[in-house]
A = this chain, B = another copy of it.
Amino acid sequence: MSYQVDFEPLGRRLRVGRGVSILTAAQQAGVGLVSICGGKGTCGRCKVQVLEGQVSPLSETEAKKLTTDEIARGYRLACQVEILSDLKVHIPPQSLTAAQRTQVEGQELTVPIVPVVVGCDVRLPPPTRKDIRSDLDRVGDHLIETLGLSDLTVDFTVLRQLSTHLREWEWSGTVGVRGREVVSFNPLGRKPLGLAVDLGTTKLAGYLVDLETGQTLAMAGAMNPQIAYGEDVMARIAYAMQGEEQAATLREAVVGAVNDLARNLCTQSSHHPEEIVEAVVVGNTAMHHLFLGLPVRQLGLAPYLPALTDALELKAREVGLEIAPGGYVHLLPIIAGFVGADHVAMILSTEIYEAEGTVLGLDIGTNTEVVLRANGRLISCSTASGPAFEGAHIKDGMRAAEGAIERLRIVASGVEYQTIGDAPPVGLCGSGVLDAVAQLRQLGVVDERGSMGDHPRVRRTEHGPEFVLVAAGEDGNGRDVVLTRGDVGEIQLAKGAIRAGINILLDEAGLSERDIDEVIIAGAFGTYIDVSSAIVIGMFPPLPLERFRQVGNAAGMGARLALISKQQRAKTAEIARRVEYIELTNDSRFVDEFAKAMYLK
């Protein structure tokens, strides 16, 4: 009797026998679960949350080590729990040993720094019997004089603290002014900071920015905890549609994760979250709506309407963001139900919108957004490429974490590969899967339709053929790492969707792939892939390699640009307005193009 165990948010799966402990299963799966005591239950560190499935009852040890609240929320100690059915387990970040690799970096762009919030140090004369101006006027008069502003207003939360702080800080402090509004008042010298966030379906990326210099002070990634409630956008929408409580759960999960991220960035760089006076948030339309607590029902049903498309500006406290209480969060505009603010940010930071030639842009993820700049037009679409590139639905797939094979080549002597962290191989992340399919296709082991032929490493199982990339024990790993016929099929679906999108945009512009001057590939997965492999399997058009540019997290970069420059922020509205959106589910060309594009050339 064996059960499937699914470790979230890593997306790592394996089958184990009945009665095996979750800790043992995690170890077999190569998941780095903290376990200082070696499974005795004394350290209490291997906390996991059982999301679905049956397990043994709570032990006395667990009752001691876990809080009532944790127990209520399904937390257990992995070493104490026996698996009694198929299982879905969430591993909280603090129980993971190795950090996940999340793409946060992007190319740096230099733009003139014109932040929406400026800092101003004030040192004021204390009141006297003759100078009985109100506390706010005392500050305001100084700002009017120093910054040449008039008609100042003040955020209510700043006002509520102002009289007390002025007296505590001896009539000095640093004021954050946004347009004509005072949005922050901090002890003297604490300059206004900004926070840029890219809300991905799977991952979050955050950047702490000095608004005066435009310098990025810290950057960090985190998993999107909404994964526990649905792997892709449609699953999340379906979950939120179950009721207000479920929608609130999703909202609170992601807002909490962004708050953790902000605190983490501040700790890294010795700052305080109250110094963050402005946040720019980008994400696809569903992530954007779920973050804001907007209804998503209409987003999940044809014709897939967003609640709004324009940029939105709110007090951060209105959405529960724990930064300066008077600070704002700015959400970049959206293009359509499946082309979000992250796409706008990507178009901004890659400067595709003002490119001279014909440029194709791709932001590859669970949904892949494609944009074509041609003849002065900007045409976009979104394709459901699925989570295969995140390692999901792939037998030995996993996310890009320690032990994941991220590159491989099949040579005469066997398989050469490279793992993240140079750790013993435990599975394949997206770029590894892509390489594997490309290599097998080039060797002829896999044909155009994805069928797997004979090879010394191919073995037939009851579920079909599979190619053994690394055999158990070969390199210190505990088990085989294979690529199955089914895995090849998943990649065919994913790359077929992307290529169909590309072809429809080219058709729309009356161009062919030879006309493309440059292909810009954004996103974490896009950064790590081997472009030649992607060409071999027909995901990308067969263009000279020098026409490809891998730009990293372009959405996060765009968010940072909108944070430090009013001009850049203003451009996003223009981009959103100019993009011509093609809804592929409505498009008569899609079925044919998709069918053709699934072939491995």
Contact = CB atoms under 8 A, between A and B. Distances in A.
A318 interface: yes
Given A135-B306, A307-B135, A307-B136, A159 B294 contact: yes
In the complex this chain forms, how many copies of it are found? 2
Contact of A298 (B163, B294, B295): B163
A64 interface: no
A583 B302 CA distance: 68
A16 B127 CA distance: 50
Contact of A132 (B161, B164, B308, B583): B583
A293 B160 contact: yes
Nearest to A294: B160
B336 A306 contact: no
Given A295-B163, A298-B167, A305 B134 contact: yes
Interface string A129-140: 100111111000
Contacts of A336: 132
A162 interface: yes
B309 A163 contact: no
Interface in A52-79: none
A314 interface: yes
A127 B305 CA distance: 9
Nearest to A586: B129
A308 B129 contact: no
A307 B159 contact: yes
A10 to B, nearest CB: 33
Interface in A155-199: 156, 159-164, 167
Nearest to A136: B308
A388 to B, nearest CB: 29
A154 to B, nearest CB: 7
Contacts of A128: 303
Given A160-B292, A294-B160, A134 B318 contact: no
A88 interface: no
B163 A304 contact: no
A302 B304 CA distance: 62
A310 interface: yes
A128 B304 CA distance: 10
A303 to B, nearest CB: 5
A302 B129 contact: yes
Interface in A489-546: none
A297 interface: yes
Interface string A320-359: 0000000000000010110000000000000000000000
A553 to B, nearest CB: 26
A314 B292 CA distance: 21
B129 A307 contact: no
A335 B272 CA distance: 37
Contacts of A156: 292, 312, 314, 318
Contact of A134 (B297, B302, B307): B307
B167 A132 contact: no
A295 B136 contact: no
Interface in A276-310: 292-295, 297-298, 302-310
B306 A129 contact: no
Contacts of A297: 163-164
A154 B137 CA distance: 30
Contacts of A303: 127-129, 132
Interface string A539-574: 000000000000000000000000000000000000
A135 to B, nearest CB: 5
A86 B350 CA distance: 78
Contacts of A167: 298
Given A167-B298, A302-B129, A303-B129, A309 B160 contact: no
Contacts of A162: 307
Contacts of A160: 292-295
B586 A308 contact: no
A586 B164 CA distance: 24
B132 A304 contact: yes
Contacts of A161: 295
Contacts of A163: 294-295, 297-298, 305, 307
| Residue in A129, A159, A298, A308 with the greatest tally of chain B CB atoms within 10 Å | A308
Nearest to A164: B295
A512 to B, nearest CB: 29
Contacts of A337: 132
A163 B296 CA distance: 9
A595 B310 CA distance: 67
Contacts of A295: 160-161, 163-164
27 contacts: A127-B303, A127-B305, A129-B586, A132-B336, A132-B583, A134-B307, A134-B308, A134-B309, A134-B310, A134-B334, A136-B309, A136-B310, A137-B308, A137-B310, A153-B313, A156-B292, A156-B314, A156-B318, A159-B307, A159-B308, A159-B312, A160-B295, A163-B294, A163-B297, A163-B298, A163-B307, A167-B298
Given A135-B308, A164-B295, 10 more contacts: A128-B303, A129-B303, A134-B307, A134-B334, A136-B307, A137-B308, A153-B313, A159-B308, A163-B305, A164-B297
Q: What are the 10 A-B residue pairs with the smallest beta carbon separation, nearest first?
A: A136-B308, A163-B295, A134-B309, A134-B306, A163-B307, A132-B303, A134-B308, A163-B298, A164-B295, A135-B307
